[in-house]
Amino acid sequence: MRAIGFRLGTRGSALALTQSTTVAKDLAAASNTGYEMIKVKTEGDVTTGPLSQLGGTGVFAAALRLSLLQGGCDVAVHSLKDLPTTQPEGLVIAATPVRADVRDALCARDGLTLATLPLGASVGTGSPRRSAQLRAARPDLVIVDIRGNVGTRLGRVAGSPAQADDGGVGRTAQGDLDAVVLAAAGLERLGLAEHITEYLDPAIMLPAPGQGSLAVEVRSAGAGNAAVDAALEELDDAATRLAVTAERALLARLEAGCAAPIGALGRIQQGTLTLDSVACAPDGSDTMRRSAATRELTVQGAARLGIALAEQLLSEGAAELAGL
């Protein structure tokens, strides 16, 4: 038995547990210490209203952050896209591990794709960002507001057996929709990628800022164990850090939260960081796409890129369009 090197706080959903366990094992192996998992119940797990109306951002993260600050745990793993852009005093993101697939995924009945869904097909999503981009690509689709955990949402697709991944909502729907859109990363982490009928090209569907990326957060003083701190430094992926820094700087400059109808994707190719973004009308009626690039591959350069692109969007009316 190795001595406990850190206590890792996590939400109790299947997705959160998979993500947390992966990080915990990596950190334990790299630091040669043991760990303990601490389940923290968050407000987002117990609220059932439409996500787009929850208003305040970071409902999933607040309780975990409080537990970190109060010393209830030493390390917290978040889905970066659910994490508010304002960094609380006393906490730092110590690692952004190598990012998973950034794309949104269509999970449709009968192997259908965005191009082959029949006229007027019903597609479930609770996200104005996804609904606006879906409507831009296929104005005939009927978008249905849904929420719940990944398994519950998959269960809404006709012909797909409902598989609750954590029983959080516990619906046993006979599928009533032709398709749903979910993050590919979550489906893959849960071993549910076989339900994906199309990975949506970011040229059509820009993901949420930070999608597919995890944030490993600790107190500013560190995890309380030098070997664990060193392991966190090793776990951080520089390319992921630059991309998500640009995406989140854009979101922050727009003063938009993680439920806002904003998409952003940073990509590094041949020494250039390109940032693509989209602002969407909350009713899905319109979208505005803008891009920018920099060759300054530092965290400061990435942040500047995100801020500059946000300011371009704002100068062209993105705040009015997206209802920010």
Ligand X SMILES: NCc1[nH]cc(CCC(=O)O)c1CC(=O)O
Which parts of this chain interact with ligand X (CB under 6 A)? 79, 81-82, 150, 182-183, 185-186, 211-212
The verdict on whether 147 is a catalytic residue reads: yes
Instruction: Name which of 39, 11, 37, 13 is nearest 25 in CA terms.
Output: 37
Smallest separation, CB 147 to ligand X (Å): 9
The verdict on whether 140 is a catalytic residue reads: no
Nearer to ligand X, 186 or 263 (CB): 186
Give me the helices (H) in the chain, please. Answer: 14-31, 43-46, 62-69, 128-137, 150-154, 184-189, 226-235, 238-253, 299-315, 318-322
Catalytic-role residue among 7, 103, 129, 156? 129
The verdict on whether 81 is a catalytic residue reads: yes
Catalytic-role residue among 74, 82, 101, 166? 82
Smallest separation, CB 17 to ligand X (Å): 13
Count other Cβ atoms within 10 Å, centred on residue 190: 23
Nearest residue (beta carbon) to ligand X: 186
Yes or no: say if 105 and 198 are a contact pair by the CB < 8 Å rule: yes
Cα 234 from Cα 223, distance rounded (Å) = 14
The verdict on whether 258 is a catalytic residue reads: yes
Cα 201 from Cα 207, distance rounded (Å) = 10
Nearer to ligand X, 7 or 81 (CB): 81
Smallest separation, CB 115 to ligand X (Å): 22
The verdict on whether 166 is a catalytic residue reads: no
Smallest separation, CB 4 to ligand X (Å): 28
Cα 115 from Cα 125, distance rounded (Å) = 18
The verdict on whether 171 is a catalytic residue reads: no
Catalytic-role residue among 7, 11, 65, 81? 81
Smallest separation, CB 44 to ligand X (Å): 9
Catalytic-role residue among 7, 258, 276, 280? 258
CA torsion, ordered 254, 255, 260, 262, to nearest 10 deg: 20
The verdict on whether 129 is a catalytic residue reads: yes
Cα 251 from Cα 310, distance rounded (Å) = 7
Nearer to ligand X, 135 or 189 (CB): 189
Instruction: Give the side-chain half-sphere CA count within 13 A for 320.
Output: 3
Catalytic-role residue among 65, 99, 103, 147? 147
Instruction: Give the side-chain half-sphere CA count within 13 A for 150.
Output: 24
Nearer to ligand X, 5 or 128 (CB): 128
Nearer to ligand X, 5 or 58 (CB): 58
Active site members: 81-82, 129-130, 147, 153, 258
